[in-house]
Amino acid sequence: MAELPRRGYERFAGIPTEFASTSTPAWRSQTRARAGAPNVIVMLVDDLGFSDLGPFGSEIPTPHIDELAGGGWVFTNYRTAPMCSPARAALMTGLNPHRAGFGFVAHTDPGYPGFACELPEDAPTLAESLRAGGYATFMVGKWHLTVESRLHDAADRSSWPLQRGFDHYFGSMDGFTSLHHPHRLVRDNSVVHIPEFPNGYFLTDELTEEALMMIDELRVNDTDTPFFLYYAHTSVHGPIQAKPADIASHRGRYEAGWNALREARFARQRELGIVPEHARLPDDSISDGNLIPAWDTLSAAERALFANHMEVYAAAVTEIDESVGRLVARLDQLGELDNTIIVLASDNGGSAEGGQNGTRSYFAQFGISAALPDDWVRDVPRDPAEIGGPRLFSQYPTGWARVSNTPFRSFKSTTYEGGVHAPLIVSWPAAPGGVPGLRDQFVYVSDLAPTLLDLAGVSPLAERAGRAAQEVDGRSVGALLRDRHAPGRAAQHFECMGRRSMLDRGWKALSPVPPTPATGAAGGDWELYDLTNDPTETQDLAAANPELVARLAGRWVAEAWLNTVFPIDDDGTLHKTRPESERVLGAPVTLPPFRPPLERFRAAQLTVLRSFSIEIDVVLTQTTAGVVVAHGDQGGGYLLAIDAGAPLLSYNAYGDMHRVRGIALTHGRHQCELRFTEIDGMRWRVVLSSGDAVLAELPEVPMLLGMAPFTGISVGYDYGGPVDWDLHAQHRSYRFTGGTIERVRYVPGARSPHDPVVLREITETVAALAD
């Protein structure tokens, strides 16, 4: 009898017959990491300055980090990207930031490969390679590698953490969040619905607990598989927040002021060998002295307020150190500490976004693209004792940011050393042939992934999504753990919002402003620094070395073309252009009650820089009470509630509360409209009406702009951080009861003339390419 055709056995290694008694089974081999492979933990801190940790000269006690550094490697010449998403993309892929699709933070996709805000399909991540090499892969914290238009619940998740190599994820997909009341948390691929946060909730603690739980769950089921944990802190990014006890532990520490603290940190850095003896602390004339008043010129009230800001920042650093301590203690308990590689770094330099005076109204100035009126209040006065707590969204003043970046000039988002020179600590007690200590070789963020794969003995994936993997830009610096004289890298280009720099063998050419088409990409004003002899950029040598400047500027252009850096945003329009496909996010939407909030960016398309209305159908009874709709939090927002039988309209203007109560409503069905109409001065007039009757009105309130309202729209309760703290104190989330919310529908109206966004038809680009 002829043998029948077979299908499905082509790759089967056993022998199949028609009966089990005469067949031979076989199983697919499982990928296992090599014997003795180390665990890998990468802890990335957000907006941490170069000098904010004890091993880098800080007065902030960081005993757990100090212990890691004391037995490990402290890298004093580590550089990163000037902003967070670019640094994270380079860390994950080993590519330079623009090649990884992140020339800017993950807010816009203006239609160019270097700014797509999506990791390339053919760029395997560190997590993907380690998982293919037999590792369990976990992540907690800030992702910020998904363009914000794809963060909503119906979005394509191809650029979410699980789709980029992680087995488990818990954290905030956005660039930051409130630590007391996170605006949105995601577990794996789904939003976590927490109708009401318990008193004392604090995100840093939960992230640490989630990380420990992931490790514990692995070890309960598998004692051998090594793990990769990427712990990306949301702290110390603004709004800067901390727990009361930690804030109290720093009271009085900063009464001497930012001038004295900067000098003290610099002195400690010299003692520790973090900076060379010949380094000079840049004076006010070149280190933003025009933005930073001398401490002794401030009033007593100003000194107290500004010191309070820094006490909160120090508390946030303390909490990061505590998270390190908890992880180390658990690894020690498991007997795995010695064979765990721990990398701790910052994503960029400290941030000056708080401005000269700091702010207790973070969203009144953060992320706003429109020009603000002269009478705009950037810091709503409130009790300084509330700074760092759940009622304030604050950011420390520029003077403290300069302290954070000691001894360097400038801040996050610039290509001066203060924007890109960051702390890096590596610990691995069981490192073969390890020679711990200081290392002053140049290491760049894109070197981290190749280094960790090298140390783990895992080959990077050769392909992804059916395509050959891109060649990485980073190189392993693993030899530095064994040899204090091993070479670092020689050169690296930098770019952020048209600010350019090129570092090559100790010489750094830098242009702090974008060039123009008339000057060309290599044109504009350039500065030149000899970092070997002047690591803090105090002497501009450009005038004496025009040929060297021209060579480095030309090298920068060549590197830019090799790394998809172009186009430069020469006229400020690059990030104001978005794809027409985002238009659907601004379409009218009906929201069901008691569900998780509508995601932040999706909600913003309905309300920010435009007039809009909310159509509301409710059925009221004698016992009806609670929130009908809420949008925002203590950083800014609005809500409508039925309270004591009447509508209550609360409007939080970045901390300045406006409230109006309407007339009592009869029992039964009501059709209402809450209208937000733009008026002059970037204000809204807010009117609640039913038919022709005006029920309540706020004649004039500042519009909520930029990333406010930050917490999305919730119907039937006030999710997370409350819009109206007094109402929250009485009723918590104030869930709507005793009636029925039949319909809440958002209807966007006219866009503001101040809105700079241009939606480009995708077909326009296709047609242009075809011509």
Domain boundary among 451, 481, 511: 481
Name, in order, each residue with C-beta under 8 angstroms of 443's C-beta and a sequence gap of 6 or more: 75, 77, 78, 79, 424, 477, 480, 488, 489
Q: Is residue 172 part of a domain?
A: no
The CATH number of residue 723's host domain is 2.60.120.200
The SS3 assignment for 428 reads coil
Reply yes or no on whether the pLDDT at 1 is more than 70.
no
- Please give the model's pTM, rounded to 2 decimal places: 0.97
pLDDT band at residue 767 under the 50/70/90 scheme:
very low
E-strand spans in 143-291?
168-172, 185-187, 190-192, 227-232
Do 322 and 429 share a domain, yes or no? Answer: yes
User: For position 369, what pLDDT does the model report?
Assistant: 73
d(CA 587, CA 494): 39
CATH number of the domain where residue 513 is located: 3.30.1120.10
> What's the mean per-residue pLDDT of the chain?
96
List phi, psi (to 5°) of 650.
Answer: -115, 135
Do residues 593 and 716 share a domain? yes
Q: Where are the beta strands (DSSP E) in 180-304?
A: 185-187, 190-192, 227-232
Nearest to 202 by CA among 389, 361, 362, 387: 389
The answer on 661 and 529 residing in a single domain is no
Q: Is residue 694 part of a domain?
A: yes
667-702 burial, b at 16+ Cβ within 10 Å, e below that, comes to eeebebbbbbebeeebbbebbbbbeeeebbebeebb
SS3 breakdown of the chain: % helix, strand, coil, rounded to 5?
Answer: 25, 25, 50
Q: Are residues 518 and 597 in the same domain?
A: no
Tell whether 375 is covered by a domain. no
CB-count burial class (<10 Å; 0-12, 13-18, 19+) for 377:
middle
| Tokens, residue 552 | 């480095």
Mean pLDDT of 63-84: 98
Residues above pLDDT 90, as percent of the chain: 94
Instruction: Write down the residue that tokens 């995100």 correspond to.
Output: 203
Q: Is residue 183 part of a domain?
A: no
User: Is there a domain that residue 168 lies in?
Assistant: no
Whole-Å CA distances, 29 to 7, 13, 227, 285: 21, 11, 20, 65
> Over the stretch 464-496, which tens digit does the pLDDT of each residue have?
999 999 999 999 999 999 999 999 999 999 999
- Domain co-membership, 324 together with 405: yes
- Residue 758's pLDDT is what? 73
> Which candidate, 262, 207, 187, places its Cα nearest to that of 46?
207
**Can you point out the beta strands (E) in 290-396?**
340-346
Host domain of residue 533: 498-568
| Segment 670-728, tens digit of pLDDT | 999 999 999 999 999 999 999 999 999 999 999 999 899 999 999 999 999 999 999 99
d(CA 98, CA 414): 16
Shared domain for 507 and 621, answered yes or no, is: no
Please name the amino acid found at residue 427.
S
Asked if the model's pLDDT at residue 446 lies above 50, the reply is yes
- pLDDT tens-digit map of 743-754: 999 999 999 998
Domain boundary among 456, 481, 506: 481
Q: Does 516 share its domain with 587?
A: no
Pair 432, 38: CB distance under 8 Å: no
* pLDDT at residue 554 in the model: 98
Considering the domain architecture, whether residues 232 and 214 belong to the same structural domain is answered as yes
Is 182 domain-assigned? no
The number of distinct structural domains making up the chain is 3
Of 542, 568, 594, the last residue of a domain is 568
pLDDT of residue 502: 98
From the candidates 144, 237, 421, 728, give the one annotated as an active-site residue: 144
For 180, 237, 348, 382, 388, the CA distances from 308, given in Å and listed in that order, are 18, 17, 24, 13, 9
Residues 748 and 640 in one domain: yes
pLDDT > 70 fraction of the chain, expressed in percent and rounded = 98
Kindly report whether the peptide bond that precedes residue 423 is cis, defined as omega within 30 degrees of 0.
no
The answer on 506 and 649 residing in a single domain is no
Helix (H) or strand (E) segment spanning residue 613: strand 610-620
pLDDT at 195: 87
3-state DSSP assignment of residue 313: helix
Report CA 109 to chain centroid distance, whole Å: 17
Q: Is the pLDDT of residue 765 over 80?
A: no
- 577 has pLDDT over 90: no
Catalytic residue selected from 84, 117, 496, 672:
84
Lowest mean pLDDT among 6-10, 160-164, 278-282, 669-673: 6-10
Which pLDDT score is estimated for 160? 98
pLDDT at 764: 47
Provide φ and ψ at 354, rounded to 5°: -70, -20
Average pLDDT for residues 567-585, to the nearest whole number? Answer: 90
Q: Which of 37, 47, 82, 192 is nearest to 419 (CA)?
A: 82
Whether residue 120 is contained in a domain is answered as: no
Query: CA 203 to CA 192: how far, in whole Å?
Result: 13
Nearest-CA neighbor of 328 among 338, 319, 318? 338
Q: How confident is the model at residue 757 (pLDDT cuts 50, 70, 90)?
A: confident
Q: Is 672 a catalytic residue?
A: no
DSSP notation for 256-277: T-HHHHHHHHHHHHHHHTSS-T
Q: Please tell me whether residues 234 and 261 are part of one structural domain.
A: yes
d(CA 296, CA 384): 20
Q: Give the rounded distance of the alpha carbon of 255 from its chain centre.
A: 30
Does residue 573 lie in a domain region?
Answer: no
pLDDT (mean) for 74-96: 98
Return the CATH number at 248: 3.40.720.10
**pLDDT in the model for residue 371:** 83
Active site residue 181: no
Same domain for 585 and 564, yes or no, is no
